[in-house]
Structure 1
């Protein structure tokens, strides 16, 4: 397997912003990593460095773009709704199959 020749390097402000995004209620780490196109382990390491004081952003007060914050919340809500619809769809398919099997049994036994 070939090694990567290009690695992304992120400044402390980017890392601190990524960590701050995970602190928004209702936003999952997975949502942040997907939105920022980073690996979950990187986010975990950055959070650990922030706690230890090893990550020092230039800006002390990290401002999160309200649109990005709203978009992450909207994404999470849509994912929950999508999962619910998938479960409902699966249950309906099972109910239809069961109904068809019952119909097949009752029509074959009446002959």
Structure 2
């Protein structure tokens, strides 16, 4: 098995981006996978953000 010398790159998204993505996915008739594909993120990540938004963990900056 090869050794990996460099850690994987993980993207960090701002709360503003997360809130916009969630708000787009909450529009009637729009599917989560469509929004995720448009924003180039995984649908599971968007679903997790939606859950965190409902729980109040993600809040829009004022």
Q: TM-score, normalised by structure 2?
A: 0.81
- Taking the aligned partners of 1:14 and 1:26, their CA distance within structure 2 comes to 21
Q: CA deviation at 1:53?
A: 0.5
| Equivalent in the alignment of 2:26 | 23
- Taking the aligned partners of 2:48 and 2:7, their CA distance within structure 1 comes to 20
In the TM superposition, what are the counterparts of 1:40-55 in structure 2 within 5 Å? 40-55=43-58
Do residues 34 (structure 1) and 22 (structure 2) align?
no
Q: Which runs of 5+ in 1 are unaligned?
A: 60-111
Q: Which has the higher contact order (CA 8 A, sep 6+)?
A: 2
| Equivalent in the alignment of 1:7 | 10
Rg larger in structure:
1
Note closer, same or farther for the CA distance 1:5–1:25 as it changes in structure 2 (3 Å cut). Answer: same
Moved over 2 A (4+): 1-5
Q: Considering only aligned residues, what root-mean-square deviation do their CA atoms show, in Å? A: 1.9
Alignment partner of 2:61 out of 58, 63, 84: 58
